């Protein structure tokens, strides 16, 4: 019995040491306070679901717990491959094409239809519940990022046309489409998701023979063609509802931080969560969550970042030689941010001196209209 008690005591001491060590490791990237959850997810390392015509991998709240209100998918389609006709019942879709080209089709509740050719740097937006498809064009694979304004959304649980037809009796299909029921006997018996087909012919110069979406409400926006805002530390190209009217529930941007310490200044978004996909380069982001909670994360190509609504944060380029390019998406069509430096500069030096318990002279050089990015 004494031997057993001694072994139990030794085991308890060993476990206590392990807990202390792992606890110290867990706190190694925590600054001044209790632990915040990780705001980084290595989407690029996820094993994709593969199909004949392409692949897809996703980040939802299920595998990225911090991302409560926004989900994302990285997808690739071969030339001619079709992300089949489908719709999303619980999320709008915002997308950015990283490489290659594709064609989108969409129908809205007024039976207005749009077909659009999409290339690198272009954005599309599909409102919640609108039917759509995506097909690879050109000669190379089309790689794009999809972002959804619902953290629980899974692209592998969408409403697909093949899935619905496969689970509808042939006699109902015959009545619905005014066709013989025998026509449907060779249709797929389950969801296709991605189907490989021929590369589609170019769209005709004239409008196709059905109602087209009016220009102000087009689902396409050429974000790379926008000059954006240039700052000493980088460039910010924004597509909110102001620039892209149909995008009523989401805003997106391309953020490029210059090499050698380009900094996206300390700020927060009062009306939206922020979801990020790192295309190239490396960066460090710190997220501040009140109550002494602050967490530093490092990001590289293929990583996803997330900042909850109202949380303070800043992003700094971690490379001396390479710019850092990031897709930024927020779950509000109305882009809002509050800059820490602007806020401080709008107050008197005396007030700030009192607030920080230092001499007011320290703050007399603060200036309004500070840049969004700096070095």
Instruction: Encode pLDDT of 200-258 as tens digits.
Output: 999 887 766 566 776 678 999 999 999 999 999 999 999 999 999 999 999 999 999 99
DSSP code of residue 209:
S
Amino acid 209: pLDDT? 59
Q: Which of 251, 272, 2, 46 is nearest to 155 (CA)?
A: 46
Structure tokens at 187: 């249709």
Q: Which of 57, 49, 101 is nearest to 80 (CA)?
A: 101
β-strands 194-195, 159-160 pairing: unpaired
Tens-digit pLDDT profile for residues 34-67? 579 999 999 999 999 999 999 999 999 999 999 9
- The sheet carrying 251-257 orders its strands as 40-41, 304-307, 274-280, 324-330, 251-257, 234-239, 229-231
Q: How far is CA 66 from each of CA 72, 136, 270, 311, rounded to the nearest angstrom?
A: 13, 32, 18, 12
* CA–CA distance, 151 with 72 (Å, rounded to integer): 8
Domains of the chain are 40-220 (2.60.120.10), 227-374 (2.60.120.10)
Query: In whole angstroms, how large is the CA radius of gyration of the chain?
Result: 25
* CA–CA distance, 168 with 157 (Å, rounded to integer): 18
**Sign of CA pseudo-dihedral 302, 309, 121, 201:** positive
pTM: 0.89
Structure tokens at 6: 């001694």
């Amino acid at each position: 019995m004494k031997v057993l008690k001694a072994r139990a005591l030794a085991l308890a001491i060993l476990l206590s040491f392990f807990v202390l060590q792992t606890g110290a490791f867990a706190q190694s990237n925590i600054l001044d306070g209790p632990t915040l959850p990780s705001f980084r997810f290595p989407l690029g390392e996820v094993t994709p679901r593969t199909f004949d015509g392409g692949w897809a991998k996703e980040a939802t709240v299920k595998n990225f717990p911090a991302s409560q209100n926004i989900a994302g998918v990285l997808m690739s389609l071969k030339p001619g491959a079709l992300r089949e006709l489908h719709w999303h019942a619980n999320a709008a879709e915002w997308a950015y094409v990283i490489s290659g080209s594709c064609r989108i089709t969409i129908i809205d509740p007024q039976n207005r239809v749009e077909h659009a050719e999409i290339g690198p740097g272009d954005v599309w937006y599909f409102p919640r519940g609108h039917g759509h498809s995506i097909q690879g064009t050109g000669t190379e694979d089309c790689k794009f990022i999809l972002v959804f304004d619902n953290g629980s959304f899974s692209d592998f649980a969408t409403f697909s046309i093949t899935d619905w037809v496969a689970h509808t009796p042939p006699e109902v299909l015959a009545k619905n489409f005014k066709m013989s029921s025998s026509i449907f006997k060779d249709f797929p018996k389950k969801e296709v998701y991605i189907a490989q087909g021929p590369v589609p012919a170019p769209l005709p110069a004239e409008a196709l023979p059905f109602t087209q979406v009016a220009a102000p409400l087009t689902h396409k926006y050429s974000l790379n063609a926008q000059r954006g805002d240039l700052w000493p530390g980088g460039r910010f190209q924004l597509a909110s509802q102001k620039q892209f009217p149909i995008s009523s529930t989401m805003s997106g941007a391309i953020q490029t931080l210059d090499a050698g310490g380009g900094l996206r200044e300390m700020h927060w978004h009062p009306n939206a969560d922020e979801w990020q996909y790192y295309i190239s380069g490396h960066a460090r982001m710190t997220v501040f969550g009140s109550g002494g909670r602050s967490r530093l994360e490092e990001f590289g190509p293929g990583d996803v970042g997330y900042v909850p609504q109202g949380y303070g944060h800043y992003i700094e380029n971690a490379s001396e030689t390479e710019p850092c390019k990031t897709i930024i998406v927020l779950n509000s069509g109305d882009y809002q941010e509050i800059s820490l430096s602007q806020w401080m500069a709008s107050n008197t030096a005396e007030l700030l001196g009192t607030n920080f318990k230092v001499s007011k002279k320290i703050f007399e050089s603060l200036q309004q209209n500070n840049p969004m990015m700096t070095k």
